[in-house]
Structure 1
Amino acid sequence: MKQNSAAVEALLSEQRERVLAEWRAELSAGGRELASEAREAGELLDAVLAGVRANGNTENFDDMPWAHVREVLSALSRSRAAQGSTAADTSRFVLTLKKPLFAGLQRRFGQDSAALVDATWEVSSLLDNMAQYTVTSYQRTREDIIVRQQQELLELSTPVVKLWDGVLAVPMIGTLDSGRTQLVMETLLQRIVETGSALAIIDITGVPTVDTLVAQHLLKTVTAIRLMGADAIISGIRPQIAQTIVHLGIDLEGITTKATLADALALAMKRAGFTVTRSKAAAAGASGLFAVQAPGSAA
């Protein structure tokens, strides 16, 4: 074991409580909440001591003896990311340990400047590696959180709604890409199986633009629906979208399209054999009163 590594081990062994107290003081001076970080600080300090004892070389941070330190730092980074802290705040938690360790080394070596410089450099290198590792772990965690949130938002933005017996609707909002098309397909086909629905309405009122790629995605969805023994209606065909489809030469032949979701629902109920009529009260001036006659029922 190198002499300066042994000095770091001795410092953490003999002056653990003092170093920990000075570290907490540094955190408190920076406006940190000691109650939430006291346990993490003590755990990390113990992990560093175990790593120094097992390895004797503070520069090779990727080695197995530092695995527990990396685990502690990963857990710390995940916790900070979930709480909304920044990567800078996360690494600063580790870097504030420098001053207490430097002070401890100063007390230990006194006038031996050469040994003090060597030990200080080794401690500084170790803490820099630890801080860098927290940043990397934090960024990885944030990326995972963003991906998960994007997936959740995607699922929320493509709900499958049961409008009537045997009639499902998928209101599309935003850009329609390959990943979203696949999700819509899977969710819609599963709902068709669960409900036994014979008709699905794909409403693209909330889709800002329709190009060749979007049209291909819609055609694939309709094809998948038909393979399940159901049929599909595309609603929300605005004048601008209709002109774009014509200019692009997109062939929607064989696919029923409607301008609004209401028109599509009316057609769907007509295909199912339902008749929607206004009640006498509605004819007399009251609003919102309709009667639905089921197939085969008396008028």
Structure 2
Amino acid sequence: MSNDTLYEIHDTRFRSLIIKNARLEELYSGCRWAEGPVWFGDANQLLFSDIPNQRMLRWEPDGGVSVFRQPSNFANGNTRDRQGRLVTCEHGTRRVTRTEPDGTITVLADSFEGKRLNSPNDVVVGFDGSVWFTDPTYGILSDYEGYRAEPEQGAQNVYRLDPETGDLSAVIGDFRQPNGLAFSPDEKTLYIADSAASHDDTAPRHIRAFDVVDGKRLENGRVFALIDNGIPDGMRVDTEGNVWSSAADGIHCFAADGRLLGKILIPQTVANLTFGGPRRNRLFITATTSLYSLYVSATGAQRP
């Protein structure tokens, strides 16, 4: 893809966030559905999920791609906690786990009010160590990304796991299919994607924003942005508060006021993205079968 067709500029502010002569690089191809990229700066590597192939992969600048974990329990979204440990959403086991430094796995959540979770999808960790994750039904709709099953929960909730007590609370329950989520840099706002239009053209395909109250509750929910091509899935926020969201035609970048600044057009449907590299100015993009990267002028908000 030439740089003349790589970008769509909808607002002049987008020009300061991109590098016009940067090249979109395909780092790997061979996934069935690439997802969940997370950057490990201390190890100079990226981990990401290949959900239907039941594996998690590792990309290293000098070593290419290797298998990090297989089977992966149909792992999807990943992040790091305040101690730098890997936190993963698993469709197959319908749980959220933490990988300890010695490689053992700790289950953080697999049920709510005595019933199994649907299929945890994406996850973020707050400044206080709280774990927030979405729980749509994608992993139990078929045997492709998990195991077909009837949902036990009465809603597709977004949850918060308290770091001190381990208590799990449903912070919002009116989504059709909650998906990607990301905090604003000051964690006063939580952005959550509703991707229900993936299976119903009349369903939402937007990102909602919520005020985070006392680090524990969500209030004042409102539609932040609408994805005009495909659905919103994973997303990240830069240091200026701009929201970078996945979409069918690539990455859509929104200002904090919800205005579409521009698009980065990717040859395949984008599922997720993250900022990485030594200066956190390199976008790593999981898109259908491939892992791409692109340098930008924005800097990813410092997350765990």
Q: State if a TM-score over 0.5 links the two structures.
A: no
Max Rg structure: 1
TM range (shorter): under 0.3
Instruction: Provide TM-score, normalisation by structure 1.
Output: 0.22
Instruction: Provide TM-score, normalisation by structure 2.
Output: 0.22
Higher strand share: 2
Higher helix share: 1
